Amino acid sequence: MDPTDFSRPPAGDGDCNFEFVSHSSNFSDRPLRIEIVAGPPKGRPDGEGDSEWDRHRKRRRDAIEKRKANNFRKTLAILLYEQNPKPINLNKLILVGMPDEQEGEAVAMTEESPSGISQPSRHRGSSWSMDSPPVISIKSLSVSSTILSAKSPFFYKLFSNGMQESDQQHATLRIDASEEAALMELLSFMYSGKLSTTSPTLLLDVLMVADKFEVVSCMRHCCQLLKSLPMSQESALLYLELPSSISMASALQPLTEAAKEFLVNSFKDLTKNQDGLMELPLVGMEAVLSSDDVQVASEDALYDLVLKWARRHHPKLEERQEVFGARLGRLIRFPYMSSRKLRKVLTHNDLDQEFTNKAVLEALFFKVEPAHRRQALATDDVTNRRFVERAYKYRPVKVVEFELPNTQCIVYLDLKREECAHLFPSGRVYSQAFYIGGQGFFLSAHCNRDVHNSCHCFGLFLGMQEKGSVSFTVDYEFSARTMPSGQFDSKYKEKYTFAGGKAVGYRNLFALPWTSFMADDSPYFINGVLHLRAELTIE
C-alpha cells in the first residue's frame, strides 16, 4: 500500500501493537519537543455553566475562535515574508511552521541557534504567530517517526517534508496546557492502539487532539467509546457542537447520529415538552426538526414553535432571517402545512422573502402532485426530508375551495392500512382543521360498535371546532375511492345545522363489519391506502 494513503489502515493494523517501542530508545529515531503554552483562563463568564460539559463547550468555542484568529495571522505573515524574507525581530514575531493546511498553532518546526533563540524554518505552510502565549513548560520525547508517520498524515508530512527540507533532527509541537493529557494519550494510542482512560471529558479532548493531528483511527476509537457511555442532554449537545473537519466528519457520524437519536427521544412528544424545547441551542433544534418521528399536532403547530424559539434566541431580525435561511428553514416541512397557514407565512418577515416565496410555492406544487409523484419526491429528498410526512397527531388533508355558485370545499383524507388497523377496537384519528365560510371543521375516523348488530365497524364524522352560540348549516357528503373502478363512490349524504362543538356522521360508513373492511381483498384499500373525500357546501 502507498505509505501516504491514510484513507484506510494497513493490513493487520488492528492487530499491530508497538507499545514496547514507546518505552525503548533503540526503536526511536527522532526527538520530539513539546512546548506547552498557557491555555485560556479557567474562569467562566457570567451565565456559563459549572459542569464539566459546560467547560468543554467553552473550550471548544475558544478553539474555534483561536483558529479564526490564526488564519488572519497566517495571511499577514505570508504577506510580510514575501515582502521581506530576511530575519526579523523574534521578540515581536514567532514563526510557527506547520504542514500543509494545518490550522491553529499546533506545531512549530524550529532549530536551536547558539544563542538559544529559535530560528524560523523555511518550509511550505509556515506562518507568523503574533502575541503568542508564553511557554510554561517543555517536554522532550524520543519517538519513532516511522510509526507516527504510518498513523497520521500530519506526522508523515512533518517528518518527511518539513524536517528534510530544513535538515533538522527534531520537531517541536506547540499545544495548549489543556491539551497535554490528551496528547500523551494520543501518542500512546499510536503505539498501542489502546487508550487508558474511559473518562468522557478526557476522551473528548483526545478526539479533538486526534483530529488536529489527523489520527483517524484514534478518532474512530474515541467515538466508539463515547457512544458506548451513558448519554445525557449536555453530552449529546456537546457532540453535535464539535467543529467538524473533513477528516472528522466520517469518524464522528456514528456518535452524532446517536446524539441526535437521544435528543429526538427526549423531545419526541412536542405537545408535552415545549418548555424544554425552548431551552435547546441551535444544534439541538436542528436535531429534533430533522426527525420524522417527533409527535406534534401538525406542521402548522411545529412552525409556530420554531418561530417562537427563533424570536427568543435571536431577537434581532437580521440574525433570525439568517438562522431560518441557512439552518432551520430547510427542516420545516412546508408541503405538509395547511394552505391557510402558508398564506400567513407569506406575511411573516421572520423569514427572508425570497426564501419564503420559494418554500410556499414548492409546497403548493407538492400538494397538487399525484400520489406516485409525491412518493418519488419524498424518496429522493434524503438530506432535508421536507417531503416526508411526520408522525402528526392530526392527519394532513388536501382541500379544494370554491366560492361560486355556492361556498364549497372538497376535503381529501388518506389513511394507511396500518393506521386503520391501530384504531381497533375503539380508537379514533382526527384530521387537521380546514375552513369553509370562516368556520373551522375537522374529520374524525372511528372504530365503532354498530348498534344494530353489535359488530365493530368503520365510522366517519364531521365536526366543527368552535363552541358557543354560532349556528352553521352545512350540506355534507362522504365518499370513498373503490376498486376496481378507482372512482369515488358516495357513501353518506346529509344536511346538519352545527351549533359548535359537535360532530355528526355515520357509524358504519361501508355497511361492513370491521373484519371485512380490513380484509386483504377489501375494495377500499388501494395500494394499502384508504382514500376518503368529504364535500361541504353552504347554500
CATH 3.30.710.10 residue ranges for the chain? 19-38+133-229
What local confidence, expressed as pLDDT, does residue 112 receive? 37
| Parts of the chain belonging to CATH 1.25.40 | 265-387
Give the Cα separation of 42 and 284 in Å (integer).
26
User: What pLDDT, on the 0 to 100 scale, is given for residue 129?
Assistant: 47
| The three cell numbers locating residue 66 | 483561536
- C-alpha cell read off for 243: 467543529
Numbered ranges of CATH 2.60.210.10 in the chain = 394-538
> Quick check: bond before 405 cis, omega within 30?
yes
Residue type, position 87, single letter: P
Tell me the three cell numbers of residue 117.
533563540
Q: Among 2.60.120.620, 3.40.50.300, 3.30.710.10, 3.40.50.700, what is the CATH number of 19-38+133-229?
A: 3.30.710.10
Query: Would you state the cell numbers that stand for residue 44, as one nine-digit string?
Result: 467562566
* pLDDT for residue 521: 95
CB 241 within 8 A of CB 281: yes
What is the distance, to the nearest Å, from the Cα of residue 6 to the centroid of all Cα atoms in its chain? Answer: 28
Q: Does domain 394-538 have CATH number 2.60.210.10?
A: yes
User: What size, in residues, is the chain?
Assistant: 539
Fill in the DSSP letter of residue 440. E
Q: What is the pLDDT along the chain (539 residues), one digit of tens a residue?
A: 444 444 444 433 444 555 545 555 556 788 888 999 986 654 443 444 455 555 555 555 555 555 545 544 444 444 444 455 544 433 333 333 333 333 433 333 333 333 333 333 333 333 334 456 888 999 988 888 889 999 999 998 888 765 554 456 678 889 999 999 999 999 999 999 999 999 999 999 999 999 999 999 999 999 999 999 999 999 999 999 987 676 677 888 999 999 999 999 999 999 888 899 999 999 999 999 999 999 999 999 999 999 999 999 999 999 999 999 999 999 999 999 998 899 999 998 999 999 999 999 999 999 888 878 888 888 887 776 889 999 899 999 999 999 888 899 999 999 999 999 999 999 999 999 999 988 889 999 999 987 777 899 999 999 998 765 677 889 999 999 999 999 999 999 999 998 766 789 999 999 999 999 999 999 999 999 999 999 999 97
pLDDT of residue 180: 94
Beta-carbon neighbour count of residue 363 at 10 Å?
A: 23
Query: CATH assignment of 265-387?
Result: 1.25.40
Of the candidates 289, 290, 293, 283, the residue with the CA atom closest to the CA atom of residue 307: 289
Q: Encode pLDDT of 66-88 as tens digits.
A: 554 554 444 444 444 445 554 44
| Placement of cell 528534510 in the chain | 164
Q: Phi and psi at residue 499, in whole multiples of 5°? A: -110, 5
- Provide DSSP, 334-397: GGGS-HHHHHHHTT-SSS-HHHHHHHHHHHHHHHTS-HHHHHHHHHH-TTT-TTS--EESEE--
DSSP, res 199 = -
Q: Quick one: pLDDT at residue 16? A: 58
